[in-house]
Structure 1
Amino acid sequence: MTVSDQGMSSMEGHPSLKELPLDSWMGLLPVALWEVPLWNLAIPGSHNAITYCLDKSDRSPVDVTQPDLLQKLDKYMKPLIRPFFHKWGVTQELTVKEQLDCGVRYLDLRIARRPNDSSTHLYFYHGVYTTLTVEMVLQEIRTWLDIHPSEVLLLSFSHFLGLNQDFHTELISTIRTVFTSKLCPITNMGTLRSLWSLGYQVIASYDHSVVHLHNDLWPHIPYWWANKCKVQDLVEVFENKKQHGRPGGFFVTGINLTEDLKYICSHPTESLKDLVMSSNPTLLSWVRGQIPGPQMGSVNIIAGDFVSEGDFVPTVITLNRHLLT
C-alpha cells in the first residue's frame, strides 16, 4: 500500500483534525488537502528548535552575538551570569525527535561554528552553543523520517555564525548526504500528493547567497518577528502586517516573545518559559482566529517556543479546517 493509499483508507471515518495523531498528522489529512500547496496550509513550527542541548559547562564560550557587557560579565562572573543564559536561552525543552512526534513540521535551525574550534563540526546556538553537532541532529531527523514516510518537514537553515565558504560547502554536502533522495527540489509543486509521489520529505531552506547555485535548496523563508515582550504589542504588529498581504510562498509567523536585557534584569527570578506560559492563553486565542490560504491576511507556518505547551500544535493544525469549506 502506498503512502497515499494509507492516507485514503485512514480517512474513511473523517476524524476531526484536532483528533489526528500528532506524529503522523500530515499523512492523515483529508484528501481535499493533498492538493493544497504547503505554503497555503497551517503548519506548526519550532522557533530556535535546537536549544534543549545548550552547553552548560563553564568551558563553553558565549556566542559572539551577545552584547559586549554580557561577554565581559561572563568572563569575570561566570557562576553568576551563566545561569541567566540558560534560563533565557532555552526556547525548547523537547528533543528534535520529540518535537516531530508532537506534530512540529518546521524547524528553525540556527547554525554556528564555535570560536577557536579546530574541528569541522558545526553547532546550533542561542546565547551559548549546543553540545550536539548539526550532523548529529540531522541524522536524528533522517531516522525519524524513515519511520514516518508520509510526513514532510521544512528545515530552515540560517544565521551561519562564523561560517566561511568552505563551511557552507561542507554543510550543504552534509545536508545532501543525510537526506539524499528525500530532498525536494524547488521545481516541485509543493503539494502533499506531488511530494509523496516522488518520495520527497524535506524542503530545505538555506538563507545565504549560495542557495542560488543549488536547485535542491529553497530560498530563505521570511520570518515575521514582532520583537516584542508583551502579547498585545506582538498581536498588533502581526495585525498590521496582515493588512499589507502575505508573501507568495512559505512564510513564518513567529509568536515567540522577545526578552531583551532590560526585561531580563527587571525580572531576575523568571525565565523565558515563565514568560511563555503566562502569555500562551492570549497567544493561542489569537492563533485560533487565523485562517490559512493564499488570501490577504492568511497564515502559513506558525512558530513558537516550548511547542508542547498549551495545546499549541493541535491549535495550528486545526486551522486547516477552513480549507475544507
Structure 2
Amino acid sequence: MANIPEIPPGTPTQSCPDWMSQLPEQLWDKPLYHLAIPGSHDAMSYCLDMCSPVQESEPLTIKALDYIMPCFTRPCLYKWGTAQAHSIAEQLDSGMRYFDFRITHKKHDTSDNLYFAHGVYTLMTVQEALKDIAQWLTCHPKEIVILACSHFEGLSNELHENLVFFMKQLFGDKICPYMELQETLTLRSFWRLGYQVIISYDDSALIKRHKELWPVIPYWWANQVDPQDVLQYLEQQKQKGRPGGFFVAGLNLTENTQYVILHPRASLKTMTQHSYSSFLEWIGKQSPGPGKACLNIICEDFVGINNFASDVIHLNQKLLEPDIVTLS
C-alpha cells in the first residue's frame, strides 16, 4: 500500500510547500472536497495597521472610546484582532491552501485600494496580497488554493467589479470556473486543465455575473472561548452530517467582553496557544472522505507555529484505507 512519507504527523509545517503534488497517485482522482486541507482563519491579520482607522463595523462604544483614548483601544484591538503571525507566502509554504479573506474599503478613501480588516485595517492591500499568491503559484504549478472572499465592508458595486476584474486578469486561466458537477474537482483534472485557484465570493449577485466565482463555502464556527466547547460544537456538526461539497471546520477561539476584562494580559495568540494540544489531538482522530462524519478543510489561527498543517495533511493517509468510505 502506498504511503505519504513526505508528511508524517509532527513534521514542521515549513516542509509542506508542495504537499498536493506529493500525494500518492491513488488520491489524484479523489474530489478535492474529500481531501483533508489545512486553512488559515483571518489569513491577513498578521499585518494589521495600528495607525489605521477603527473598522467601520466595530461597535459605536469602541469607536467612541478610540476617539478619546486611542492609546488604550489600539493595542487592545491589535492583540485581539491578530489571528496570524506569518506572511501569506510563509503560510503557503507551511501548507495552507484555504484562506479566509475579509475584504473592506476604508471610509472616506477616494482610491480604489482595498484592505483586509479585523478590528483595524491591514497595512497590505488586497491587490498586493493577491499578487504575492499569484507569484507563489507560478513557482508551485501543482498546488491549488481556495480564496474565500467575504465581508466586503464599504465596497460599492464598482469596487466589487474592479476586484473581480483584477483577480481574473491576475490569475487568468488558473481560475477554475464554478462547477455544479463537482465530482470532476480532482487533482488530476486540475493539473490537466491548468487550474490552481478557486474563488469563493460572498455576494450572490456577483456570482451570477461571473462564472469564475463560487458560492460561499460553509464554515463551522463555534463562537466559543473554551476549546472544549469548540470541539463539542464541531462534534455536534459532524453528527448532522457533512455538506456535499467544500466546507470548513473552524478550530478558532472567539473572545468575549468578559474574557477580555478578566484576562488583561492575554491576547488571541496566548488564548490559542493554550488550546494547541487539545486541538491537535482532536485533529489526529478525524478522517477526510465522503462519510457523514468526515471533514474537508480545517482552519486554525496562528498557523505555521505548530504542527497543524502537517497533521491535517497526514489525515489523507486514511483515504488509502479501504474502509474509509463507510465511515459514519
Is residue 222 of structure 2 the alignment partner of residue 226 of structure 1? Answer: yes
Point out the more displaced range, 204-213 or 147-156: 204-213
Query: What does residue 4 of structure 1 align with?
Result: none
Pairwise CA distance, 1:262: 2.1
Q: Are the counterparts in 2 of residues 17 and 29 from structure 1 also a CA contact under 8 Å?
A: no
Is residue 194 of structure 2 the alignment partner of residue 204 of structure 1? Answer: no
1:64-213 maps to which residues of 2 (within 5 A)? 64-187=56-179, 189-209=184-204, 210-213=206-209
Pairwise CA distance, 1:15: 2.0
**1:129-176 CA deviation, whole Å, 9 max, x = no partner?**
011111100000000000000100011001111112111111100110
**1:171-210 CA deviation, whole Å, 9 max, x = no partner?**
1001101101100112362100000001110011111112
| 1:292 equivalent among 281, 288, 294 | 288
Aligned amino acid, residue 248 of structure 1: G
- Once residues 186 and 68 of structure 1 are traced to their aligned partners in structure 2, the CA distance between those partners, rounded to angstroms, is 39
Q: Structure 1's 87 and 131: CA in aligned 2 closer, same or farther, altered over 3 A? A: same
The alignment's TM-score, normalised by the length of structure 1, stands at 0.93
- Once residues 34 and 298 of structure 2 are traced to their aligned partners in structure 1, the CA distance between those partners, rounded to angstroms, is 12
For structure 1, the residue ranges without an aligned partner over 5 or more in a row are 1-11
Runs of 4+ in 1 over 6 A off after TM superposition: none
Q: Percent identity?
A: 46
Aligned amino acid, residue 215 of structure 1: K
**1:44-100 CA deviation, whole Å, 9 max, x = no partner?**
00000001111122xx11002212111111110001111011111110010000000
Is residue 44 of structure 2 the alignment partner of residue 54 of structure 1? Answer: no
| 2:22 equivalent among 15, 28, 31 | 28
Pairwise CA distance, 1:13: 8.5
> How many pairs were matched up?
313
Pairwise CA distance, 1:14: 5.7
Pairwise CA distance, 1:275: 0.4
- Once residues 130 and 208 of structure 2 are traced to their aligned partners in structure 1, the CA distance between those partners, rounded to angstroms, is 22
Query: What does residue 9 of structure 1 align with?
Result: none
Query: What does residue 254 of structure 1 align with?
Result: 250
Q: Structure 1's 93 and 72: CA in aligned 2 closer, same or farther, altered over 3 A? A: same
